[in-house]
Amino acid sequence: MTDTIDLDSAKLEAYDAIDLAAGAARSILGTNIFGQLEIYREKYEQAIDFLSTTGQSVDYNDYPLLQLEANIVNLPIKNIAELIVKRRSNWISKITAIESLRLTGKYNIAVCTNVDDIRKLTSYTINKLSEFKRT
């Protein structure tokens, strides 16, 4: 009976460790500062809307976040919109890869039958998650 408890405890610890490592990997890619994700989301929505207005008369005041960034980096607002869409696409790809590692690691640990295998899988998964870098 003790082996089952130890195995279950080891699994729970492994799940927590993997979740923490996934959270750390996600935080490297972006911010977790209150409100900043909303700014990113709004900027993306403005970029999509702006890029869909091709050939139409555009009121730049409708895109304050794009205009702000364009002014700061001295690029046309269209270039800023394209960069924002590309940045988000790259971010989503990395977030998807992180989630895949997190879920795969936890699934593989769930079917482990000994603590050594749990430790090896946990270590492997955490190491893979730690490879994500800000770009």
Walk along the chain (135 residues) and give the pLDDT tens digit of each residue. Answer: 444 569 999 999 999 999 999 999 988 877 767 788 889 899 999 999 999 987 788 888 999 999 999 999 999 999 999 999 999 999 899 999 999 999 999 999 999 999 999 999 999 999 999 998 765
Q: Where are the domains of the chain?
A: 2-129
**Do 66 and 84 touch, CB atoms closer than 8 A?**
yes
